[in-house]
Chain A
Amino acid sequence: MKFGVIVFPGSNCDHDAFYAVTSNLGQQAEFVWHDSPSLGNLDAVILPGGFSYGDYLRCGAIAKFSPVMQAVKRFAADGGLVLGICNGFQILVESGLLPGALVRNGNLKFVCREIGLRVETTNSPFTGALQRGQVLHVPIAHGEGCYVADERTLDELEREDRVAFRYVDNPNGSLRDIAGVLNRERNVLGLMPHPERASDPLMGSAEGLGVFQSMLQAAAAVTR
């Protein structure tokens, strides 16, 4: 399987995502520069964490205008797997690929800590290898990770089983404890926690690797 890791100016978890899917998952990956008009031959795309364009104006608000985002949208429309982590989630939301918005944490402070992340659905290519109700220990590291949306959208997300992950102990004020959401077609996932930082036992937890293993499993099913 071949992953593409998008690099925006200011991305800083790009190497971490690359390392997780290559060294920890054992798959191929390449970096894709933000001004690339096309993606080439990829099985999945990761929008990594960081501070794209300094996160000036609003997190992800400038990145959505990057040429590569047009390619990512086409890729998603064709059914390609797109995973947005942290800043990547913010960019997906700003780009309209996912509903809702991410605003400043309830306590207005950046927070880096390991949290419990509950798997809410296994009906997605990102969670297929996990168990419903399973709690993953993965870190968060963000200042603007409070997920908000109007009631109707939240109801719809729940009705359509599109809340992929919830926080066990809500660290940022996210509505209904939401930590990660899927698009309607279920091939785009955005989440604030960092599964790529919990993909190696040496880092204290390898429970995040399940997200990438799910993607691998899903990609293998398609090829078959």
Chain B
Amino acid sequence: MSTAAITPEVIEQHQLTPGEYQKIVDILGREPSYTELGIFSVMWSEHCSYKSSRLHLKKLPTRGKLVVQGPGENAGIIDIGGGYVIAFKIESHNHPSFIEPFQGAATGVGGILRDIFTMGARPIAVLDSLRFGRLDSRENGARNRRIVSGVVSGIAHYGNCFGVPTVGGETIFEPCYDGNPLVNVFALGICKKEDVFYAKAAGVGNPVIYVGARTGRDGIHGASMASAEFTEESKQKRPNVQVGDPFMEKLLLEACIEAMKTGAIVGIQDMGAAGLTCSTCEMGSRGEVGIEIELDRVPQRETGMTPYEIMLSESQERMLLVADKGREEEVFRVFRKWGLEAVEIGIVTNDGKLRVRQHGKIVAEIPNRELADEAPLYDRPHTSPPEVHAAPQFPQISVQDALPKLLAAPDICSKRWIWEQYDYQVRTNTLAGPERADAAILRIKETGSSVAMALDGNGRYCYLSPRDGAKLAVAECCRNLSVVGAQPVAATNCLNFGNPERPEIMAQLVEAIEGISEACTFFNTPITGGNVSLYNETLGEGIYPTPVLGIVGLMKTEAPVTMPFKNAGRSVVLLGGIGNCGEGRFGCTQFAKEIAHSLWGLPPELDMEHEKRLQAAIREIIAEGLAESAHDLSDGGLAVTLAECSFGQAGIGAQVDLDSDLRPEILCFHEGPSRVLLSTQNPKRVDEIAARHGIPAPVIGITIEKGIEIRQRSNTLGAWDIAALKKIFDNSLEQQLSTEVTHV
């Protein structure tokens, strides 16, 4: 394999264009060897080089006074005060999770965890944003159900064993994810400010040390696989999916953190996508030095591996580090203690080249900087996003009948079946885990403060308008944090899109990035890193444009304000008011999706100025301890939010009367942003605070011992028994997952 001649077919198989190949020849001043071609092909893949998105990613705001490290490292870092920083990032593992759901998702978790502890930070939280095809699909339901259980058990397997709590996230079902599920994993870690490590090689003559698992033939070309559309042949790529060992990763975490404390480590990077290739050339490029390695010294678990295979392997749980010359033994001692292999495989040189030898002979010699940072950059043509022309539809259904249907909808119903399989408490920091509050909250024992996290994205909104949908995602994410009393401070994003070589898809990407940029600038949440996943298409069908935002907020440590009503007789306040929504802004809602089975118009209208004032108001209300419960309005609108607030252990419901001209289904189910439902003993004080921020805070009703009732100007639109609704909400997902295919 390693000696194969380089023909145009071979170049094409490596997903390099003739132009890109010519650039390689220019850089090297000669034809590449087969190994070198492989190295270039992975480093210049879309996945590693961001060649289609880089130009536009520059538009994102990346600076802020808390930002210690922005994009370009393994994770972003922000200062949380008290001498501590947090490192966090979101990453996708979409393609592998379709081909092999369990291992694909498991190694997705493993990869992002390594990105965090490579920076010297101990991971303390994981959240996932998952998107699957419909479970009730006649054609693909059985496969989709298998993917869901595989992905969930893969995440559980890895996170639980590693010992990081999985504390929140989102799960969405749409036909467009049928052949292309999205598995986006967010992780966050903590360390002392002075203990941050960077993935930079330095010090000519310093040893380059390989630690962790042995290198096998798994995952070869994983990065390139993630950079192509799916076809029928993709199923044959199963061997390209890596296999994870969370126990090994746990040992690697403890050993790396202990080794970092010796002071003998200069720089460190994990071997993720593109494995040994990426870690060597990126560390060399960042440090403006060369790196020379001898492949015979690389621990291998298979015999007869070629240089091509060793350099491109994506075997998991491996790290590369550069140590101070003369202090290697201090590093080796720590890894021995943890029973891990640590081997000196090369040295740092002064010639800026990645030089790879096998049996002493040079098998690849490439300038680091050109390889790592001068990948082709494309300004791909972009026209305008595809337009949606469906007409509004309003089926005959009462609010009374619509609410239970929506509570059973897969996007809305409880995801308990999923999150109970995750250990969301290990490390005893979880103040608010899954479905407790609008954001996940973790206390930081070291500083006495807390951090809140939320993930949000909405493919339906973004499909109708990528720019507005992206802004709405940023706004909702920040709102979720504000509702628990946290100040949003920094963001990470995962951009899941189709094939960027199609101008209308490229337009979706460009518009979404610009939308994120505008909103993140406005809400003062700089993007500190993230991930772009393109070519999310199967058999020519693209997914909805799906940017997912992960935003973190800071708050003081105290018992969190959670969703459910706690006591009867409290005022129910709809902070932000009922809002307005024309028919054209109703087509993206869960009502339109689950009841009208349609999608039309534009996403809800967002006034960012108003949204910012609402968020300031709710934070102040929470800080004064005025809210007994709080929950923002999102999927399913007011009626669904009321029901969710009634599903607490106390069984307290509410009776509300809405003063509005809107038609009942729009009134109850529209998804206009900038609204929060809260219960309080002191509506007067709430109103004072809201008024100061220019936000309406109408009291719409009162919490009651039993049941939920919604009226519109004294006319009852619906009245429900809480236990009956809760049963539907709690059991729906499990029922859908256990349904055997009975369609013929």
Contacts and interface: CB of A to CB of B under 8 A. Distances in A.
Interface string A187-199: 0000000101101
Contacts of A143: 160
Contacts of B428: 16, 19-20, 196-197, 199-200, 203
Contact of A54 (B156, B161, B443, B557): B161
Contact of A12 (B163, B443, B557, B558): B163
Nearest to A139: B425
Interface string A35-58: 000000000000001110111100
Contacts, number: 82
A10 interface: yes
Contacts of B559: 201-202
Contacts of A113: 420
A143 B557 CA distance: 31
B425 A203 contact: yes
B408 to A, nearest CB: 22
A65 interface: no
Given A51-B247, A202-B557, A203-B430, A9 B339 contact: yes
A186 B509 CA distance: 65
- Chain B contact residues: over half helix, strand or loop, or mixed? loop
Contacts of A139: 425
B626 interface: no
A176 interface: no
B431 interface: yes
A19 B426 contact: no
Looking at B161, B248, B338, B558, the one whose CB has the most chain A CB atoms below 10 A away is B161
Interface in A85-120: 109-113
A197 B420 CA distance: 16
B619 to A, nearest CB: 20
B443 A202 contact: yes
A82 interface: no
Interface in A111-170: 111-113, 139, 141, 143
A71 to B, nearest CB: 18
Interface in B383-437: 419-428, 430-431
B532 to A, nearest CB: 32
Interface string B150-179: 000100100011110000000000000000
A9 B338 contact: yes
Interface string B537-568: 00000000000000000000111000000000
B443 A109 contact: no
A91 to B, nearest CB: 15
B247 A56 contact: yes
B245 interface: yes
Interface centre among B156, B251, B419, B423 (most CB of A within 10 A): B423
Counting chain A CB atoms within 10 Å of each CB, which of B153, B162, B421, B426 scores highest? Answer: B426
Nearest to B430: A203
A111 B421 contact: yes
A150 to B, nearest CB: 30
Contact of B251 (A9, A109, A197): A9
A15 interface: yes
A50 B163 contact: yes
Contacts of A112: 419-425
Contacts of B425: 112, 139, 141, 194, 197, 203
B247 A53 contact: yes
Contacts of A209: none
A13 interface: yes
Contacts of B443: 202
A113 B153 CA distance: 16
A52 B247 CA distance: 8
A110 B426 contact: no
**Most-contacted residue by chain B among A110, A111, A199 (CB, 10 A):** A110
A149 B470 CA distance: 56
B703 to A, nearest CB: 22
Interface residues of B, number: 31
A134 to B, nearest CB: 19
Given A9-B251, A9-B338, A16-B427, A55 B161 contact: yes
Nearest to A24: B428
B692 interface: no
B250 A10 contact: yes
**Interface of chain A, helix or strand or loop or mixed?**
mixed
Interface residues of A, number: 31
A114 to B, nearest CB: 9
A9 B254 CA distance: 9
Given A10-B247, A196-B428, A203-B428, A110 B423 contact: yes
B246 interface: yes
Contacts of B445: 19
Contacts of B163: 12-13, 50-51
Question: By CB atoms of chain A within 10 A, which of B421, B422, B425, B443 has the most?
Answer: B425
Interface string A57-71: 000000000000000
B156 A141 contact: no
Contacts of A9: 247, 250-251, 338-339
Contacts of A109: 153, 420-421
B420 A51 contact: no
A110 B246 contact: no
Contacts of B420: 109, 111-113
Nearest to A23: B445
Given A54-B161, A141-B160, A202-B559, A12 B421 contact: no
B160 A54 contact: no
A106 to B, nearest CB: 14
A7 to B, nearest CB: 9
B431 A54 contact: no
A56 B247 CA distance: 9
A110 B421 contact: yes
B319 to A, nearest CB: 17
A49 B428 CA distance: 12
B518 to A, nearest CB: 38
A199 B156 CA distance: 25
A169 to B, nearest CB: 14
B426 A202 contact: no
A16 B161 contact: no
Best-buried of B339, B426, B427, B428 by chain A (most CB within 10 Å):
B428
A185 B575 CA distance: 61
Contacts of A199: 428
Nearest to B250: A10
Contacts of A53: 247
Contacts of A201: 559
Contacts of A200: 428
Given A9-B339, A110-B156, A54 B246 contact: yes
Interface string B226-257: 00000000000000000001111011000000
Most buried by B among A12, A112, A199: A112
Contacts of B424: 112
A55 B160 CA distance: 12
A217 B289 CA distance: 62
Nearest to A15: B427
Contacts of B338: 9
B245 A54 contact: yes
B150 to A, nearest CB: 13
Contacts of A15: 427
B162 A12 contact: yes
- Top 8 nearest A-B pairs by Cβ distance? A12-B163, A54-B247, A51-B161, A141-B423, A16-B428, A112-B423, A110-B421, A110-B156
Interface of B: 153, 156, 160-163, 245-248, 250-251, 338-339, 419-428, 430-431, 443, 445, 557-559
Given A49-B426, A51-B160, A51-B246, 10 more contacts: A15-B427, A51-B247, A54-B245, A54-B247, A54-B248, A112-B421, A141-B425, A196-B428, A197-B428, A202-B557
22 contacts: A9-B338, A10-B161, A10-B251, A12-B162, A12-B163, A12-B426, A13-B426, A49-B426, A50-B163, A51-B247, A54-B246, A54-B247, A111-B420, A111-B421, A112-B419, A112-B421, A112-B423, A113-B420, A196-B428, A199-B428, A203-B428, A203-B431
